[in-house]
Amino acid sequence: MKRLRRNRERAVLFSRTRVRVRFSETDAMGVVWHGNYAKFFEDGRENFGREYGISYLQVLGAGYTVPVVELTCSYRKSLTFGEEIIVETGYVPSEAAKIQLVYALYRASDNELMASGTTVQVFLDKDGQLQLTAPDFYREWKRKWNII
């Protein structure tokens, strides 16, 4: 996952949020089921969105949806019930009409890196049409945060 590392280095805006592992998220191996990490990424993404003014509902208000078209996750250590995690979300600048984010999951008790990942989102307008150029609201958002 070279790309994951490369993207982490290029990220420019960050937010951090705390999430408690739910019992329902564990599996019969006694650890969090790997597919549930997408929920933690989403927690991080929404927290990032609230902090920087680009949350799902704000994007929707601007007339767009931003479906995830790519997701990667690299698992380093198992998460168990009772643990709390810090989800760090970073924004990766890009010329493309996309939102690229990187995620790092740390165990809150000792700051150990447990997992990391990436998502890529595209813009669809109200008719579900893929936007090949960045919507105006997104360009403005980038300007506001000095992202070139």
Residues that bind a second copy (CB under 8 A): 1, 22-24, 26-31, 33-36, 38-39, 42-43, 46, 56-57, 65, 67-76, 78, 80-82
The structure tokens listed for 117 are: 């990942």
- In the bound complex, what is the minimum distance in angstroms from residue 108's beta carbon to a second copy? 15
Our answer to whether residue 110 is catalytic in this structure is no
Nearer CB in complex with a second copy: 33/63: 33
Nearer CB in complex with a second copy: 118/138: 118
Question: With contact defined as beta carbons under 8 Å apart, do 66 and 49 qualify?
Answer: no
Instruction: Burial-class residue 101 by CB neighbours within 10 Å (0-12, 13-18, 19+).
Output: buried
Residue 64 C-alpha from the chain's centroid:
18
- In the bound complex, what is the minimum distance in angstroms from residue 146's beta carbon to a second copy? 28
- In the bound complex, what is the minimum distance in angstroms from residue 45's beta carbon to a second copy? 9
Question: 3-class DSSP state for residue 10?
Answer: helix
